[in-house]
Amino acid sequence: MTIPVRQSLRVGGYILRNKLRRRSKFPLLVELEPLFACNLGCAGCGKIQHPADVLRQRMPVDQAVAAIEESGAPMVSIAGGEPLMHPQIGDIVRELVARKKYVYLCTNALLIPKKIDQFEPSRYFAWTVHIDGLRERHDASVCKEGVFDEAVAAVRECRRRGFRVTTNTTFFSTDSPQTVVDVLNYLNDDLAVDQMMISPAYAYEKAPDQEHFLGVREIRELFRKAFAGGNRGRWRFNHSPLFLDFLEGKIDFPCTAWAIPSYSLYGWQRPCYLMADGYARTYRELVEETDWDSYGRGRDARCANCMAHCGYEPTAMFATLGSLKETLRAVRSR
């Protein structure tokens, strides 16, 4: 990930320490899901189809913090569901920031105006606002009119108050290279967010819309065309150059899902944020009792079209740090 210098040094030092201790598997970032409920019902979402009693549950603050501490990860991405629906979300963020964890709060932004006073700008905290396209495209993606305008207004307010703001954009088969260019130009230049994350949609088995997920060949073609003509170098991505190469099909990587594990109301999800083959009570148990060699493209049919950052960005980061040339390239791309 292209991240601020201080954060890069801290994460780089963390990786080095783990390598020196000869730990073969350790987390870079935890996907923390303290609830599954959401105030939207996006057609491509695989997270909100839980039974009503599960949707009502909220993870206690102590449980969330203890899980992150046990894992040792330096970065946390809080997702869900919609994390701002959690009544103690401000406390969860405050406790993690106090422990010098870099926290990304993923949100559809609708509740930001109501909840923003619970948060303070910090180099350890960033909003990650879900914006899948320009107005018409985004509102279609979240199945509700007016959400794009509310998200944009919330981003502007967060920036006005001095928060770091990143975005997360998911692409489907309804996208074209031009829609990718249009939304990234808008976020980068007009909205001027700090950094952007992009992802091809993962084909969740439970998502209501099963027709618009992209295959690997289509994903590579989409990004190769969208990145052409100098666009890629101009956009402020929250990704390593090698991960962007991976999306374009210039390089291929194995999946290292153990480096971006997911902790939810059920426990540590096996093997990743996207698939649920059971749960472990601790990160250590997850790492030690999962057959990691059976996952990834070419190994598990459910992984066949996955190019998601939770599986492949860590591989790109490890490859970057293992090469002086790639490290310098990542520094220059910042």
Q: 124 or 139, CB closer to ligand SF4?
A: 139
Which residues touch 164 (CB under 8 Å, ≥6 apart)?
121, 123, 125, 126, 127, 194
| Residue 170 CB-density burial (10 A; 0-12 exposed, 13-18 middle, 19+ buried) | buried
User: What beta strand segments (E) does the chain contain?
Assistant: 29-32, 75-78, 102-107, 125-130, 164-171, 195-200, 262-264, 267-271, 276-280
Helices (H) and strands (E) in the chain, counts: 14, 9
Min separation Cβ 176 and ligand SF4, Å: 21
Q: 225 or 299, CB closer to ligand SF4?
A: 299
Interface with ligand SF4 by CB under 6 A: which range of 42-50, 182-190, 222-230, 314-322? 42-50
Min separation Cβ 257 and ligand SF4, Å: 4
- Dist. CA 30–CA 231, nearest whole Å: 30
- 43 near ligand SF4 (CB under 6 A): no
- The alpha carbons of the chain give a radius of gyration, in whole angstroms, of 18
Binder of ligand SF4 out of 310, 316, 317, 330 (CB under 6 A): 310
- 82 near ligand SF4 (CB under 6 A): yes
- 40 near ligand SF4 (CB under 6 A): yes
- 84 near ligand SF4 (CB under 6 A): no
Q: 111 or 134, CB closer to ligand SF4?
A: 111
Q: What are phi and psi of 295, to 5 degrees?
A: -115, 160
Binder of ligand SF4 out of 41, 121, 229, 322 (CB under 6 A): 41
Using alpha carbons only, give the angle 44, 45, 46 rounded to the nearest 5 degrees.
Answer: 120
310: three-class secondary structure by DSSP: helix
CB 68 within 8 A of CB 30: yes
Binder of ligand SF4 out of 81, 90, 200, 261 (CB under 6 A): 81
Paired strand residues for 106: 128
CB 264 within 8 A of CB 36: yes
DSSP secondary-structure letter at 313? H
Q: 149 or 189, CB closer to ligand SF4?
A: 149
- 275 near ligand SF4 (CB under 6 A): yes
Please choose, from the candidates 213, 195, 194, 191, the residue with its C-alpha nearest in 3D space to the C-alpha of residue 204: 213
Per-residue x/- track, 122-151, ligand SF4 (CB under 6 A)? --------x-----------x---------
- 47 near ligand SF4 (CB under 6 A): yes
Interface with ligand SF4 by CB under 6 A: which range of 83-91, 158-166, 245-253, 268-276? 268-276
Q: 67 or 129, CB closer to ligand SF4?
A: 129
Min separation Cβ 125 and ligand SF4, Å: 20
**Residue list 212-251, contact with ligand SF4 (CB under 6 A):** none
The binding site for ligand SF4 (CB under 6 A) comprises: 38, 40-42, 45, 47-48, 80-82, 108, 130, 142, 255, 257, 271-272, 274-275, 295-297, 303, 306, 308, 310-311
